[in-house]
Amino acid sequence: MKPLHRLVRMHIASVGVSKFCFLLSLAFCGVLLLLIPALQPPARQVDLPQPRPQVRPAQTGQSHHAGLRAGSDHEEETDSTTGLKRSSAGQGESTETDVIRKEKYGPKRWTDSKTGALLVRKPNGLSGSRTQDLLQLKDIFIAVKTTKKYHKSRLGLLTQTWVSQAQEQTFIFTDGEDKELQKRTGANIINTNCSAAHTRQALCCKMSVEYDKFIESQKKWFCHVDDDNYVILPSLLRLLSSYHHSQDVYLGRPSLDHPIEAAERVKSDGSVSVKFWFATGGAGFCISRGLALKMSPWASLGNFISTAEKIRLPDDCTIGYIIEALLEVTLTHTHLFHSHLENLQKLPTDTVLDQVTLSYGGFENRRNVVSIVGGFTLYEDPTRFKTVHCLLYADTDWCPKLKARHKH
């Protein structure tokens, strides 16, 4: 029995040791669990992502536009830098709200206060968006339309004034040879061999030659004026420099307060009509080279005459038809171009030298001239072109030196 008791005691002792070791290990693990958090380095605080601030979409041209006025169907703003009213489909960025506005209300319009143009934003952007061009006077092709009977009475005044400052850039399109004028002035006179009659066909004939000569010139801008316009060259250069010649830009002033309507005989059989704006040639207009090249199928090499005959409209209307109706580029309306059809006396005196073109009344309204004071009386300078010229170029040899002043 003694060996049996010994075995029992040994078994009890081993069980006790096992229990003690088990409890000791549990205690050790508990201590480790308590010490682990204290032994770990402090956790770095990670910046949680912050919600993005809600930013309202910036209004186009906010830095350039001062003022907002409502129109009948469109919102209009005024650009304090250019004075333009612009409306051309072109390049630029559009926002979702612009697309919604287009679908619901039509294109958004505003007025550029420096250039006087009515600007229109379409879903695909702003035509002729304001990418500036490093422009010089030599980059502009200025076409003057005239007829031989006005060579002495009208062209003489132009060559004496503004044309003398842009002789290489100005091309006079007429309907008869005049070697005396060519010799006396040295002007670029182009005989179009068109009729001297003031008919639709004759006017379109001259415009067709103007267009082809511009394309050949490789210049950046085509500007058309009449022989009763004074072109203020610094203002013209400033206006065109605010665009880029590769964009689709059509600048001018309509003579009507509504689009013209004509039968569509180019894209259809004339059973439907089309509405479009056009810039009156009597005030002058300008077209970028990028847009002029796109006009080629309907304007180059005599095609302009056939296009005009199809819609049965004169030259300036046909220009508007090709650009607005066929190419779907909107006219950029600007109040800086002026014709004899306006009441020119209403033009504020302190803004006269900031305009791009001026004009004067004909025989029926000789007093329709700009109100400006200078070195000449109204009798001495009935068109006021000499007065304007001497205010711009006071060092001209025939200007009254004592009374002349230079605004710029």
Q: Which residues participate in catalysis according to the annotation?
A: 316
Sign of CA dihedral 60, 65, 68, 71: negative
CA gap 144, 207 in Å, rounded: 10
The β-bridge partners of 224 are 143, 285
The β-bridge partners of 126 are 121
CA gap 86, 119 in Å, rounded: 3
CA gap 18, 10 in Å, rounded: 12
- Residue 217's closest CA among 146, 289, 318? 289
Q: Under a CB-based contact definition with an 8 Å cutoff, are residues 403 and 387 in contact?
A: no
In a 13 Å sphere around the CA of 264, the CA atoms on its Cβ side amount to 11
- Phi/psi of residue 38, each to 5°? -70, -30
Would you state the structure tokens that stand for residue 169, as one six-digit string?
């850039």
- Give 91: exposed, middle or buried? Use CB within 10 Å, 0-12, 13-18, 19+: middle
- Residue 344's closest CA among 392, 384, 391? 384
Helix ranges, 172-320 (H): 179-185, 200-217, 233-241, 289-294, 296-299, 303-311, 315-320
What are the angstrom distances between the C-alpha of 188 and each of 31, 181, 375?
A: 105, 10, 30
The β-bridge partners of 32 are none
β-pairing verdict for 170-174 and 140-145: parallel
